[in-house]
């Protein structure tokens, strides 16, 4: 499945979710943010943005789908479109229909991916030919994770997440993605986080060494997410879900981002994946999906 598809006179853009194969916290920065080191991978779960010519001046954003998001200026899609028009110095009537399939506040980067898709999609749909560096600057200004979604499927991200080291080596994987009905506020998880420098020092060298050798499966197997403890302290129901996931015998359950979504890596040829899903639904009432590494 490609990112861009022509639909009648419109342009359909797919915005993939991501998982954090690792997430380390190096400490707090002078600006109050935390310095992170994270290996992020896109998966084949998508929001969709349909760009069509608008019937009235300005940006019209319509949101639909199984997950609610605001449809006004609070939405990153609206803000991304507005910022791109300002940079280009033009503004044409545009209607954007966002179909929200990736749950918000789940650690899957849906809002950031939507913003990146809005920048790329509007630039193509409106024929703006905006330089890549300008699009990147807008992305960094709007949010920490957005720049990642402008590039390929796998990257090592540092700073607040906006410094991208693209990884060209391919990494094919399959995972069970658990989607609990729990919204996690990233800000609260970071505020509750107590830094562990010893743990960071222990994990960082090992993970960086594995990444240098393209051993991404070994990184994922470490299940290293330094925000997990903080998230599970705030949301005890997620601790119970983690136990249920691991009790299925599928392997370690890893928190994505600041949560609430969790994933378990499985063998690509594993025929028990659907059984694991049924067991998770029956025992914990939790929705889940089988996802693969995205190709772009």
| Residues designated catalytic | 18, 145
Using CA atoms, how far apart are residues 14 and 11, in angstroms rounded to an integer?
A: 10
Distances (CA, A) of 115 to 112, 192, 246, 267: 5, 27, 34, 32
Using CA atoms, how far apart are residues 189 and 36, in angstroms rounded to an integer?
A: 14
Using CA atoms, how far apart are residues 7 and 25, in angstroms rounded to an integer?
A: 42
SS3 state at 49: strand
The full 3-state SS of 198-226, as one line of letters, equals: HHHHHHHHHHHHHHHCCCHHHHHHHCCEC
Burial (Cβ within 10 Å: 0-12, 13-18, ≥19) of residue 185: middle
Q: How many Cα atoms occupy the beta-carbon half-sphere of 263 within 13 Å?
A: 32
State in Å, rounded, how far the first CA of the chain is from the last one.
9
- 189 preceded by cis ω (within 30°)? no
Nearest to 10 by CA among 45, 39, 51: 51
- What is residue 20's DSSP assignment? E
Angle at 147 between CA 143 and CA 148, to 5 degrees: 115
């Amino acid at each position: 499945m490609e990112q861009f598809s022509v639909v009648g006179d419109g342009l359909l853009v797919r915005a993939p979710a991501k998982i954090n194969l690792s997430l380390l916290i190096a400490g707090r920065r002078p600006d109050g943010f935390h310095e992170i080191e994270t290996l992020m991978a896109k998966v084949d779960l998508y929001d969709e943005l349909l760009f069509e010519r608008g019937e009235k001046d300005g940006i019209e954003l319509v949101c639909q789908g199984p997950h609610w998001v605001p449809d006004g200026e609070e939405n990153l899609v609206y803000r991304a479109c507005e910022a791109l028009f300002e940079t280009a110095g033009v503004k044409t009537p545009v209607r954007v229909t966002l179909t929200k399939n990736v749950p918000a506040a789940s650690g899957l980067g849906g809002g950031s991916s939507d913003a990146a898709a809005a920048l790329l999609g509007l630039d193509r749909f409106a024929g703006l030919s905006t330089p890549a560096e300008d699009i990147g600057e807008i992305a960094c200004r709007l949010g920490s994770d957005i720049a990642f979604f402008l590039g390929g499927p796998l990257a090592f991200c540092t700073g607040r997440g906006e410094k991208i080291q693209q990884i060209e080596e391919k990494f094919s994987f399959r995972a069970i993605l658990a989607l609990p009905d729990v919204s996690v506020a990233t800000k609260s998880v970071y505020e509750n986080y107590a830094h562990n420098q010893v743990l960071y020092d222990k994990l960082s060298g090992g993970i960086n060494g594995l990444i240098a050798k393209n051993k991404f499966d070994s990184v994922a197997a470490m299940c290293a997410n330094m925000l997990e403890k903080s998230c599970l302290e705030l949301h005890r129901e997620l601790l119970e879900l983690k136990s249920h996931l691991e009790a299925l015998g599928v392997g370690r359950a890893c928190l994505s981002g600041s949560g609430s979504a969790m994933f378990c890596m499985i063998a690509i040829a594993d025929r028990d994946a659907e059984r694991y899903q049924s067991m998770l639904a029956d025992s914990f009432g939790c929705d889940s999906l089988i996802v693969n590494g995205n190709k772009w």
